[in-house]
Chains A and B, each alone.
Chain A
């Protein structure tokens, strides 16, 4: 007796539909290069070397008195905090009546290889904080640090606590030894001296490698299958392409900064042990004594919660709040969850102290 094997017609239908979507994709959606990631209107109010200070235009008649400066990460660009009108971190804060500034670290070139922690903390960040204080006629501002920008902000506050009224630490990189991510494993085994002496700046290709080993099959295959399957869904496609464009734009990191970063944070873990020095000055986390709001994501595979949370326990502040969200590193700042839960909670906390 011969067994009859039949292919489900639905499978053929699915394959044909998928092929049609792939062929029609260029006619339906814009190329990533054609998409502008500048969403919320702003002015560039200050520039220093390759860095810029952006000031967003207000969206409310009345604003809270204390301005907020966001110190974005050194990996990728600040656009993720303003990636889509419906998922914009910045726009949401503006709608809640905050006066928002953003620090764009720019794209360093070979000649910036000697820029170090001191330049970023006591140079760029300090200078921009002074500018905002002067412009807003306030003695203190609110500071938010995201990811590696959170480490820079943390170090800044320990050295200049008199300038900061409130600190929002969003997935900051603090305790390198507790970090359970793939990135920390690679960082711990890196010969960073040799890399910086030979290449100069940390090349973006190294970061792209790090991204590629994070859930390689979900992110490298499934994500794109979903994209082509949903090619008719304008909202999904627009959001997907914006995030993809953002992911593909990582600037190099200045060599001297990168060297200290890898050694002091991931290899020797000096920051959390209060043993780090920046510009010859001792970094003591106990000097952070203003209200602090720490946000971590349970599913964060770039900066694990175990790496960020020790900040909450190490600071000298009495008014401190720790929030954990059931999402990932990007989901915490650019998703519907961030709009519905993360930002309202942050806004309420900040408004009470601004």
Chain B
């Protein structure tokens, strides 16, 4: 008997969830259209998007967990190795103020060196990059859900606001360049 991979299981549940969401949406669309008006009408129409986003979030979360587990593993492994080095270098319990100071110095130096080595390493950079990337994907899904809610309330979405920002930036740039050009011409004229 062939064992199903986690990916197959996820796909199966994704399909199952989308199937029922679609069917229920279709079944309810007529009474919903008759009874709902205003913002809630738009929200009901777009609610499927929220379901899809939530399913996708689960997939991203799986990968996010994988990278965050690796992240903490790297930190804890480095900690263990550094602590062993400290134990080898300073095996005795410090007895006076001077010894405590010396022990603290050894501890900080070894821990800083080992952790800096970790943060400088390719394996850390790669995993951290992927971890942040997954975190950003989660943010993206959250943004998409928020956009559905904003749309249902007849408010501009993030993309629509971005379009305005882009247009403003382009206009400002053009005006700025024209102003600077005028200023330079004026200065040249005055110099003559």
Do A and B truly interact? yes
Interface residue tally for chain B (C-beta within 8 Å): 43
Chain A residues within an 8 Å CB radius of B116 = 182, 214-215
A40 within 8 A of B: no
User: A11-B97, A110-B165, A185-B120 are contacts. A216–B115 as well, Cβ < 8 Å?
Assistant: yes
A221 within 8 A of B: yes
Residues B176 and A182 in contact, CB atoms below 8 Å apart: no
Question: Measured between alpha carbons, how far is A134 from B188 in the docked complex, in Å?
Answer: 11
- Closest CB in chain B relative to A267 CB, distance in Å: 11
A232 within 8 A of B: no
Minimum CB distance partner of B114 in chain A? A217
Minimum CB distance partner of B191 in chain A? A139
Residues B96 and A10 in contact, CB atoms below 8 Å apart: yes
Residues B184 and A130 in contact, CB atoms below 8 Å apart: yes
Question: Measured between alpha carbons, how far is A284 from B169 in the docked complex, in Å?
Answer: 27
Residues A213 and B169 in contact, CB atoms below 8 Å apart: no
Residues A114 and B119 in contact, CB atoms below 8 Å apart: no
Stretch at the interface among B25-33, B130-138, B149-157: B130-138
Chain A residues within an 8 Å CB radius of B108 = 217-218, 221-222
Residues A194 and B133 in contact, CB atoms below 8 Å apart: yes
Residues A114 and B169 in contact, CB atoms below 8 Å apart: yes
- Closest CB in chain B relative to A189 CB, distance in Å: 3
A8 within 8 A of B: yes
Question: Measured between alpha carbons, how far is A11 from B96 in the docked complex, in Å?
Answer: 6
Of the candidates B95, B130, B139, B177, which one forms a contact with A199 in the assembled complex, judged by CB atoms under 8 Å apart?
B139
Chain A residues within an 8 Å CB radius of B165 = 110-111, 113-114
Chain B residues within an 8 Å CB radius of A122 = 177
User: A10-B97, A114-B169, A123-B173 are contacts. A189–B128 as well, Cβ < 8 Å?
Assistant: yes
Minimum CB distance partner of B107 in chain A? A217
The dominant DSSP class at the A interface is helix
Residues of B84-143 whose CB lies within 8 A of A: 95-97, 100, 104, 107-108, 111-112, 115-116, 119-122, 124-126, 128-130, 132-133, 136-137, 139-140, 143
Of the candidates B96, B136, B162, which one forms a contact with A191 in the assembled complex, judged by CB atoms under 8 Å apart?
B136
Question: Measured between alpha carbons, how far is A123 from B165 in the docked complex, in Å?
Answer: 17
A190 within 8 A of B: yes
B168 within 8 A of A: yes
A27 within 8 A of B: no
Residues B136 and A114 in contact, CB atoms below 8 Å apart: no
Residues A198 and B184 in contact, CB atoms below 8 Å apart: no
User: A11-B97, A130-B180 are contacts. A190–B115 as well, Cβ < 8 Å?
Assistant: no
Question: Measured between alpha carbons, how far is A194 from B133 in the docked complex, in Å?
Answer: 7
Chain A residues within an 8 Å CB radius of B140 = 194, 198
Question: Measured between alpha carbons, how far is A15 from B176 in the docked complex, in Å?
Answer: 61
Per-position contact with B for A1-39: 1 when CB-CB < 8 Å, else 0? 000000010110010000000000000000000000000
Residues A134 and B187 in contact, CB atoms below 8 Å apart: yes
Question: Measured between alpha carbons, how far is A49 from B168 in the docked complex, in Å?
Answer: 12
A180 within 8 A of B: yes
Chain B residues within an 8 Å CB radius of A189 = 125-126, 128-130
User: A190-B129, A191-B132 are contacts. A213–B119 as well, Cβ < 8 Å?
Assistant: yes
A119 within 8 A of B: yes
Question: Measured between alpha carbons, how far is A119 from B119 in the docked complex, in Å?
Answer: 33
A127 within 8 A of B: yes
Minimum CB distance partner of A197 in chain B? B140
Chain A residues within an 8 Å CB radius of B172 = 49
Of the candidates B100, B136, B143, B161, which one forms a contact with A195 in the assembled complex, judged by CB atoms under 8 Å apart?
B136
User: A14-B97, A194-B136, A218-B108 are contacts. A213–B143 as well, Cβ < 8 Å?
Assistant: no
B49 within 8 A of A: no
Question: Measured between alpha carbons, how far is A180 from B119 in the docked complex, in Å?
Answer: 11
B183 within 8 A of A: yes
Per-position contact with B for A191-203: 1 when CB-CB < 8 Å, else 0? 1001100110000
Chain A residues within an 8 Å CB radius of B136 = 191, 194-195, 198-199
Residues A218 and B119 in contact, CB atoms below 8 Å apart: no
Chain A residues within an 8 Å CB radius of B104 = 222
B15 within 8 A of A: no
Chain B residues within an 8 Å CB radius of A222 = 104, 108
User: A180-B120, A198-B140 are contacts. A191–B176 as well, Cβ < 8 Å?
Assistant: no
Which B residues are closer than 8 A to A by beta carbons?
95-97, 100, 104, 107-108, 111-112, 115-116, 119-122, 124-126, 128-130, 132-133, 136-137, 139-140, 143, 161-162, 165-166, 168-170, 172-173, 176-177, 180, 183-184, 187
Which A residues are closer than 8 A to B by beta carbons?
8, 10-11, 14, 48-49, 110-115, 118-119, 122-123, 126-127, 130, 134, 180, 182, 185-186, 188-191, 194-195, 198-199, 213-218, 221-222
Beyond A127-B180, A185-B122, A191-B136, list 10 extra A-B contacts (CB 8 Å).
A8-B97, A14-B100, A48-B176, A110-B161, A130-B183, A186-B125, A186-B128, A190-B129, A195-B136, A198-B139
